Amino acid sequence: MTGTTLRLIGCRKAFADGTVAVHDLNLTIEAGETLAILGPSGCGKTTTLRMIAGLERPDVGQVLFGDQDVTRLPIERRDVGMVFQNYALFPNLSVEGNIVYGLKVRGISVVERSKRCAELLELVGLQEHAKRGIHELSGGQRQRVALARALAPRPKVLLLDEPLAALDAQLRERLRSELDQLLRGLGITSVFVTHDQGEAMALGDRILVMQQGRIAQLGTPREIYQQPANPFVAGFVGNLNAFSVAARTVNGLKVSGGELPWSEAGAPSTVYCRPEHLRVVKREGHLHGRLLGQFFQGAQSRLLIEVGAAQPLLVDSADNVIHAPGDLIALAVEPQALFALHP
Amino acid sequence: MKRSSLFIAQLLFTLLVCAFMLVPVLMSLVAGLTRNYFQGVSSGLTFDWIAQVWQAYSPTVWLSLQLALACAVCVCVIGVPAAYALVRMNNRFSRAFEELMVLPVAMPGLASALALLLTYGQFGSFRSSWLFILVGHVLFTLPFLVRPVMAVMQRQHLPVLEEAAASLGAGPLRRFFSVVVPNCRAGILAGVLMVVTLSLGEFNLTWMLHTPMTKTLPVGLADSYASARLEVASAYTLIFLLMIVPLLVALQAISARLSRGEQR
């Protein structure tokens, strides 16, 4: 299966009440790539997916699949596979009936149909369940049927709307890695919408972070996490400590709780760092504060440290040393872990 | 023991109400099987009256069944797409249309029949065929199918199921027949049974629209009440009940299944 390049050119969509869901969006999704669209609810991520699918027509702009302009084609003529949030499996059909639906519509022979169905059942590990009704399946099994049904007609593009949101945490983890392997194995161009940053990081080759109908940032998970474009992206993807800079010193920046190393010229008003980049040290730290609480999280523990700023600092510490609330904690930070953002 | 005396009072009242409603039905049934009603059951029981009714009025039974089935088919063909359109539109116009559809039920049947006669009465061969009555029945029973089908359609997540079908390449017509209709089966079935039941028993409209050649069961019943012996008319009622009661039982079973399906 070879992928198709997807392009949105200046796509805008407003709703009947006048609110603009998506502002002039320009986006290219490379063939075979998996793009995660990430954002809070109401940011326009679902509308973007639905414009690609053909369930919404942009008010202005074009949608291209390869060289073909599909802006005016309804979904049934776009050759996309779609996995819906609550799967939207046909309750009147069996697992098999659901999977072959798209093949039947395309007039593929019974023999071909059952062959393809067997392939897909094997792909998603549901060989034993072909004749079952949808009501007899667990959430995870339904998710797999939805995926198999979407893939059966060999679509050009696979679209997934919050594909794992309806599952419980443990199952979500497992299906996430299964889905990742599957998408990589198929090499199909795929786009999925999620509000879960962990899911976006794990599955997306690139992540599109959206905010109020616009692109906040588009980049690889690493870029998004390590070089967030603005405070919104930085705060949405992972946790973040913000330090208000009080003054520039010779070698650093004066902030509440201590002094941070800073070698660049000038002084930003705020600098940021991730919780895992703050290290608890015995003495001579950059920052000092008192422990408010410590939360054991298995592989690491999260510390809340009061330094006299508006928010306590978050520190992810891997050493799991137990501190008592009120203890004085010294923290060190590498200069390269600190960054400034332009809002 | 205040509570138990209250309970007994309630039980008695309930039984009294039941008796008030059921005794006439039973009386009528007994009358249809009694040799001579004025002498009472002591005169002996007989199936003669039923046989006599069957001899004289069996064409009305067949015509009623034919009408009821044709009516069910017509109402399905018109009503299911109509329900679908109304659910999808869901605006002021569609709600007004829904109200309008109930009008023939609210209006006296004689008035609707008169309107039909005034409009189509001059088309002689149409006027004298059973199809003329069919039109009246379809008008009258349509809302009884559209309403339950709409209710089922609103409960099912049809829009998203249709989107799913569309994403798999199905066009509008295919989506309607492969997704919408199968997922409303229960509502359609309940509606059809209701329509058949109503059509079998409809008298008002039918009495105005019928000709001597197109007499239905209820019209025949009125005939026999007016002209034949009380025992004959009662035997006629018995035949009618034999036809209608199984339908009502089926209706009940389906609505029970529907409410179970909802809980699932």
Find the angle CA(B181)-CA(B182)-CA(B183) to the nearest 5 degrees. Answer: 90
Rounded distance between C-alpha atoms, residue A294 and residue A315, angstroms? 9
- Please list every residue in chain B whose beta carbon sits closer than 8 Å to the beta carbon of residue A75: 163, 166-167
Rounded distance between C-alpha atoms, residue A135 and residue A113, angstroms? 23
Find the angle CA(B134)-CA(B136)-CA(B142) to the nearest 5 degrees. Answer: 95
- Please list every residue in chain B whose beta carbon sits closer than 8 Å to the beta carbon of residue A92: 179, 182-183, 185
Region of residue A22 (left: phi > 0; alpha: psi -120 to 50; beta: else): beta
Q: How many CA atoms lie within 13 A of B100 on its CB side?
A: 8
Per the structure block, which two tokens stand in for A309? 């700023």
Q: How confident is the model at residue B146 (pLDDT cuts 50, 70, 90)?
A: very high
Tell me the per-residue pLDDT of B37-50, one tens digit each, with 9 for 90 and over: 888 778 888 888 88
Rounded distance between C-alpha atoms, residue A157 and residue A64, angstroms? 12
Tell me the per-residue pLDDT of B157-189, one tens digit each, with 9 for 90 and over: 888 999 999 999 999 999 999 999 998 888 898
Q: What is the per-residue pLDDT for A94? A: 93
| Chain A, nearest residue to B169 by Cα | A76
CB atoms within 10 A of CB A281: 14
A166 touches chain B (CB under 8 A): no
CB atoms within 10 A of CB A167: 18
A168 touches chain B (CB under 8 A): no
Predicted ipTM? 0.82
Residue B264 above 50 pLDDT? no
CB atoms within 10 A of CB B78: 14
Q: What is the dihedral of CA A17, A21, A26, A28, to 10 degrees?
A: -130
- Please list every residue in chain B whose beta carbon sits closer than 8 Å to the beta carbon of residue A91: 156, 183
* The three-state (H, E, C) secondary structure of chain A, written as one string: CCCCCEEEEEEEEECCCCCEEEEEEEEEECCCCEEEEECCCCCCHHHHHHHHHCCCCCCEEEEEECCEECCCCCHHHCCEEEECCCCCCCCCCEHHHHHHHHHHHCCCCHHHHHHHHHHHHHHCCCHHHCCCEHHHCCHHHHHHHHHHHHHCCCCCEEEEECCCCCCCHHHHHHHHHHHHHHHHHHCCEEEEEECCHHHHHHHCCEEEEEECCEEEEEECHHHHHHCCCCHHHHHHCCCCEEEECCEECCCEEEECCEEEECCCCCCCCEEEECHHHEEEECCCCCEEEEEEEEEECCCCEEEEEECCCCCCEEEEECCCCCCCCCCEEEEEECHHHCECCCC
Chain-centre distance for alpha carbon B164: 36
Q: How confident is the model at residue B1 (pLDDT cuts 50, 70, 90)?
A: low
Q: How confident is the model at residue B199 (pLDDT cuts 50, 70, 90)?
A: very high
B28 touches chain A (CB under 8 A): no
Residue carrying the six token digits 């600098």: A271
CA A274 vs CA A227, A263, A289, A305, A333: distances in Å: 11, 19, 17, 14, 10
B128 sits in which H/E element: none
Whether residue A98 contacts residue A134, with contact meaning beta carbons closer than 8 Å, is answered with yes
Q: What is the per-residue pLDDT for A335? A: 87
Closest partner residue to B166 among A74, A91, A153, by Cβ? A74
For residues B71 and B39, the model is more confident at B71
- Please list every residue in chain A whose beta carbon sits closer than 8 Å to the beta carbon of residue B171: 76
Find the angle CA(B193)-CA(B197)-CA(B203) to the nearest 5 degrees. Answer: 155
**Crossing angle of helices B230-263 and B48-89, rounded to 10°:** 30
Residue B2 above 80 pLDDT? no
A80/B160 Cβ within 8 A: no
Closest CA to B105 of B152, B83, B138: B138
Residue B255 above 80 pLDDT? no
CB atoms within 10 A of CB A112: 12
Q: What is the per-residue pLDDT for A250? A: 83
B45 sits in which H/E element: none
Whether residue B191 contacts residue B174, with contact meaning beta carbons closer than 8 Å, is answered with no
Closest partner residue to B170 among A86, A105, A159, by Cβ? A105
Closest CA to A29 of A196, A228, A205: A205
| Chain B, nearest residue to A91 by Cα | B183
Give average pLDDT by consecutive 10-residue segment, chain A, 343 residues.
Answer: 84 89 92 92 91 93 92 92 92 93 93 93 89 90 93 92 84 84 87 90 92 93 89 86 87 87 84 89 86 86 87 85 86 88 74
Report the DSSP beta bridge partners of residue B162: none
Closest CA to A336 of A275, A273, A282: A273
- Judged by DSSP in three states, B244 sits in helix
Dihedral sign of CA atoms A71, A75, A77, A82 in order: positive
Residue A61 has phi, psi (to 5 degrees) of 105, 175
B185/A76 Cβ within 8 A: no
- Give the total residue count for chain A: 343
Give percent of chain B with pLDDT exceeding 90: 33
Q: How confident is the model at residue B224 (pLDDT cuts 50, 70, 90)?
A: confident
Closest partner residue to B174 among A74, A105, A159, by Cβ? A105
Global pTM reads 0.79
Whether residue A201 contacts residue A188, with contact meaning beta carbons closer than 8 Å, is answered with no
Closest partner residue to B169 among A84, A90, A102, by Cβ? A102
B183 sits in which H/E element: none
Whether residue A43 contacts residue A102, with contact meaning beta carbons closer than 8 Å, is answered with no
Rounded distance between C-alpha atoms, residue B178 and residue B166, angstroms? 11
Burial class (CB in 10 A: 0-12, 13-18, 19+), B231: buried
B165 touches chain A (CB under 8 A): yes
Find the angle CA(B241)-CA(B246)-CA(B248) to the nearest 5 degrees. Answer: 90
Whether residue A140 contacts residue A173, with contact meaning beta carbons closer than 8 Å, is answered with no
